[in-house]
Structure 1
Amino acid sequence: MPKLAMRRDYMQRWAQVAKMRIHEKPWRLFLIALFCFSFLAASCVLIAGKGSYTVTVTAWDRVVRLDTSARTVGDALEEANVVLGPNDYCSPGPEAPLTQGLDIKVIRASLAFVSDGGKVSAIETAKNTVGDLLSQAGISLGADDAVIPSREQPVPDDGRVRVVRVTYADIVEEEEIPYTIERRNDSSLEAGLVRVLRNGTEGLAKVTFNVRYEDGVEVSRQQVSRDLVKDPSPQVLLVGTLQEVTRGSDNIRFERAIEAVATAYCPCTKCCGPYANGYTHTGILAERGVIAVDPRVIPLGSRVYVDGYGFAVAADTGSAIKGNRVDVCFSTHEEALRWGRKQVKVYVIE
């Protein structure tokens, strides 16, 4: 018997047996039908569900509502023509599976400028807070370091963040201690005069400071300790109290004495210039018994006694007469030349 005929005969016999078995047990046919229906339904659900996601993509200034059959966030972004940069922020992440109604947010990275200890670095970032930005940049803070704005603050609009490196160090400095001044009355010295009996000397101390540095620049210091190395020695001054002196037959009572340099002049044009008119600054006649003074030292109108010259009145001034200087007046140019320049005591009487 040919093989084809044998196969046909086998199939006919199998069909007859199956028909007999189905008639004998009809519930088998029901199970077969139920299985086929379930398989077809599941297939339809899978096929139908594959393209049924509706998602919203918000990327910088764009909002896209997308019906997609994509399986992941990254695939949906590709359909929306949104290309992620290496530092862009995406939530959920590109590998996350899509779900119905999912909101996908993309934040484009921008440049931030971080000054760390004075060195500025440009960093492309999409981080929200200063702390996250520093973490991205690999910048860690020491216990005393500061950051402006603080870590919890959002990255400022201009992207500028400053990290201040704070360090402390103890330094030792030598410090001079000023001497004090001790005044002693001396009845043998004219009132107004002072003599140094003993010079003072500064003391010395070593002071330890704890210094705070910000980015290497000192901003504050606190004294930690102070060690005395040398005590200061006071300066001792003798202060005159004598208010009466004798010159010849005259006993002169005075308020104060001044040690001054005394020069001389006369009313002539050689001494007083081409516009000399023979009168003083106060309008009285320039003659012997008149002296020129610095009004800040001896007030105009004061009666004085000048050693070697005699009694006089302070009634004139001069451009060169400053401080403890006086210019005594003579009637003639020859007398003024003979006087020359002398160190004298001037007694201010009143």
Structure 2
Amino acid sequence: METPVKRSTAPTKTHKRLLQGMFILNAKKFKAFFINMFSRAPKHKASPEALPIPSYIALLLFLGVALSAAFLGWALLFSDTSVPVTLVYRGREQKILTKADSVATLLENNAITLSESEDINYELSSALNDNMKLVIKSSFPVAVTSGGKVTLLEMRGGTVGEALLLAGIDYDAEDELTRLPFEDVEPGMRIRHIDIQKKYETVTKPIAFKEQVIRDNSRYKPPYQEAVIKTEGEDGEKLVVRELVYKDGELASREVMNQLILKDAVDRVVLVGTKTKYQTGLTGDEREWRPAPKKEQVRETIQISEITAYTHTGRRTATGRWPKIGYVAVNTNLIPYGTKLYIPGYGYCVAQDTGAFGAHKSDKNQIDVFMNTKRECLKWGRKYNVTVQILK
């Protein structure tokens, strides 16, 4: 194998013979020249038109010829046909001074035989030039995955984009890659390609109308007086453009790209009362109006023989509360304290007092409802055989 060497300065036998021949020939010519130029008895008679050559010019000519011959001799003696090249093989770079005339000869001199998995960057028949860089590359595996299919490549270099082309994958800028297309491939590299396809669809969708509530102080609040629809609402209509993104053939996302209003929605206008309606017209009644209880709200229905009314006495109720509209006195032998009742004409109330019923411990089936004024009590009077509902 060739190794880095120095240029040899020793002349070869061929060079010596050639140089000796040249010197002998030149010596004979110079001898004849000087005999003719400097002889005092010329062999022939000079022509009347010919002028003698000065001796110093002849000397200069002689020196010029002598120097040319010396330079030519030096070039022949010290010339060397070796070529410097750089060889990169199996990750090792070395500089070689070689007399090989081709790439193939260089490899042979260095005992290098290319295998099927190896390649060199020059033709084997290429002539060697000064500072030529020869790179021998070995193939390595690169795995490319696309659409669930894995392609195993044997590459000696190149880019990710080239690997995709070798795998027969036609990709574009919208596709997803785990590696950049211009990135150099490496041994054992895994490249995943995800095919991205975009589709667009247009659908017509309704625009739900909104409800606009107007407060009307001339009307009672619900539920006593229900809201009134002043203007009926009407749905609008819009055209929606959506982008569908498929990854390897499966829908991955759906995104609204644009919307076009085809028909505006019309708001529904509702009038809602603001006045409060109380359960009765009695003085100080703070109970807001409620409809009579429904069947599922009633635990029991009883018949009360007599219902009377009473007003302030200056004392608290039997349960320790100050009397107010909505509190009633009962016979606790029949109706316990805290029982919720509904009495027609009086409304929703709670048993919080007993009065004379509790003192006499009678079985009298009577209820006494509280009112704020004596006049209203007298107006109520006595009501007989009233159906009262006991609430849950």
TM-score (norm 2): 0.45
Indicate the structure with greater strand content.
1
Bigger radius of gyration among the two: 2
State the TM-score, normalized to the length of structure 1. Answer: 0.49
